[in-house]
Amino acid sequence: MAASSQTGMSITLEFSGGAELLFGKVKKHHISLDESTTAWTIKKLLIWVKDNLLKERPELFLQGETVRPGILVLVNDADWELLGELEYEIKENDNIVFISTLHGG
Amino acid sequence: MPVCCAACSGKAVLKRPKTGDALCRECFFHVFETEIHHTILDANLFTAGETVAIGASGGKDSTVLAYVLKLLNDKYDYGLKLILLSVDEGITGYRDDSLTTVKRNQKQYDLPLKIVSYEELYGWTMDAIVKEIGLKNNCTFCGVFRRQALDRGAVLVEADKIVTGHNADDIAETVLMNVLRGDIARLRRCTSITTGNEGYLPRCKPLKYTYEKEIVMYAYFKKLDYFSTECIYSPNAYRGYARAFLKDLEAIRSSSIIDIIHSGESLSIKKDVKMPTQMTCLQCGYISSNKVCKACVLLEGLNKGLPKLGIGKGLKARQKLVAAGMTLTNTESQSTSTESTAVLNTDKQSLEF
Ligand SMILES: [Zn+2]
Ligand SMILES: [Zn+2]
């Protein structure tokens, strides 16, 4: 994907542990977020994901304004709980991973 | 502003749900493995020379269990012979994929693998059962058969023990469900780290105090190969309100999970409370709380073309009938199918404890 020619911010999203089933079984998504006057936080990203990527059963991914409890979030391989969770400000080339723990053991 | 590891001041990658500590990758691996090692030692789970069958589904919990047990067995010289044991329910497109994962694990971890199938044990695959009974009570069949299948497989490989991947979240969820159901017998048993001493092979849960979050993080950082999809016959993967409630509790206060397990462990039951007695099944000899075990009643129903037999409220009465060798008439089957709207719990957990 020729993200370099765009003015927005390029990041990678990954869905696994069964969460990918809600995203057309695609695990890895390279996306570009438009330039914005307010910072791109994860809170804002989740709304974007809901409107642009989520294919089915949004209630299995989101609960209120956050992810459904039981879905783990990592930013650049670190637990988002160490990074401010919803308030984390996304940076260029961030890799954000969502792992469902809710699918069979 | 990177957070530092509480143990070594390296870059923290995870906040432990149990303690709130921030840890780096290496320190996390160390505490994760060491805690399981201590759980094993404290409960005297194993004795050197034993053969231990690891119930392996290809999913995250059993994959992490197999990896860590192999590692601890080598590191601390437990002297165990470990075998991966998988059950093939005969579900096209689900179990065959997860078995492929188990076969890869076999090579990755260099452990022997034994697969037992419903077809060889019972003469029925889940695909065939679903064709017969539809999608309503199939999980009941599957759960009852799986429990016995693991046991029989373990006997075939001459194992002394079975270990399963049940984690702290699973156990807390079971405690809640047994409280809600008022099932005092299961409530008393479900927090034990080892169950089934009489008749059945002992079953242990070395991940009993291990949070699901940490299991998934461990698998992620170690890049362990596991399979995650919903069973095609339970597309909504009904885990009950107990699970959603538990996850909400965890989000508010993450120690809730371990607190619930401790509550379950501290429970004492008055001496004069009548508990169900255990006996052996007249037909297959497996341990049962009735004259004929649930698996045999379900199987009898399938083989007689009355698959609803054994589901619902009338189960006990029918277990007696099968025990007495009485023939079942069609009227019987009709009354059964109306009763069967009072569906047995279809949750895998409740059937396995
Ligand atoms: Zn450290
Ligand atoms: Zn039996």
In this predicted model, what pLDDT tens digit does every residue of B220-268 receive, in sequence order?
A: 999 998 887 666 665 444 456 778 888 889 888 989 999 999 998 888 7
Which CATH number do you get for residue A23?
Answer: 3.10.20.30
What is the Cα–Cα distance from B353 to A72, expressed in whole angstroms? 27
What are the distances in angstroms from CA B85 to CA A90, B53, B58, B81, B153?
A: 44, 6, 10, 13, 7
What is the Cα–Cα distance from B310 to B295, expressed in whole angstroms? 9
What is the Cα–Cα distance from B205 to B169, expressed in whole angstroms? 12
The reply to whether residue B59 touches residue A105, judged by beta carbons under 8 angstroms, is: yes
B248 touches chain A (CB under 8 A): yes
Give pLDDT, residue B230: 64
Q: Taking 80 as the threshold, does the pLDDT of residue B324 lie above it?
A: no
Domain ranges of chain B: 39-266, 279-346
Size of chain A, expressed as the number of residues it contains: 105
Of B68-77, B129-138, B286-295, give the range with the top mean pLDDT.
B68-77
**pLDDT over 90 percentage in chain B:** 35
Ligand 2 centroid – CA B290 distance (Å): 9
The reply to whether residue A21 touches residue B229, judged by beta carbons under 8 angstroms, is: yes
Residue B350 or B206, more confident? B206
Confirm whether A41 is domain-assigned: yes
Q: Taking 70 as the threshold, does the pLDDT of residue B276 lie above it?
A: no
DSSP symbol at B150: H
What is the Cα–Cα distance from A2 to B299, expressed in whole angstroms? 59
Q: Taking 70 as the threshold, does the pLDDT of residue A72 lie above it?
A: yes
Give Rg (Cα) of chain A.
13
Confirm whether A1 is domain-assigned: no
Encoded amino acid at A85, one letter: E
The reply to whether residue B14 touches residue A78, judged by beta carbons under 8 angstroms, is: yes
Domain count, chain A: 1
CATH class of B39-266: alpha beta
What SS3 class is residue B72?
A: helix
Number of C-beta neighbours around residue B151 at 10 A: 23
3-class secondary structure per residue, A21-67: HHHCCCCEEEEEECCCCCCCEHHHHHHHHHHHCCCCCHHHCEECCEE
* Among A95-104, B86-95, B236-245, the least confident range: B236-245
Of B67-76, B125-134, B190-199, give the range with the top mean pLDDT.
B67-76
Q: Taking 50 as the threshold, does the pLDDT of residue B143 lie above it?
A: yes
Nearest chain B Cα distance for residue A62, angstroms: 13
Question: Closest-lying ligand to the alpha carbon of B284?
Answer: 2
Give pLDDT, residue B323: 60
Which domain does A16 fall in, by range? 9-100
The reply to whether residue B15 touches residue A77, judged by beta carbons under 8 angstroms, is: no
Taking only the tens place, the pLDDT of each residue in A33-60 is: 998 888 999 999 999 999 999 988 888 8
Confirm whether A87 is domain-assigned: yes
Facing A82 at nearest CB: one of B15, B220, B244:
B15
Give pLDDT, residue B337: 35
Preferred mutation among B14, B98, B223, B228 to probe A, highest tally of A CBs within 10 A: B228
The full DSSP string for B31-63 is HHHHHHHHHHHHTT---TT-EEEEE--SSHHHH
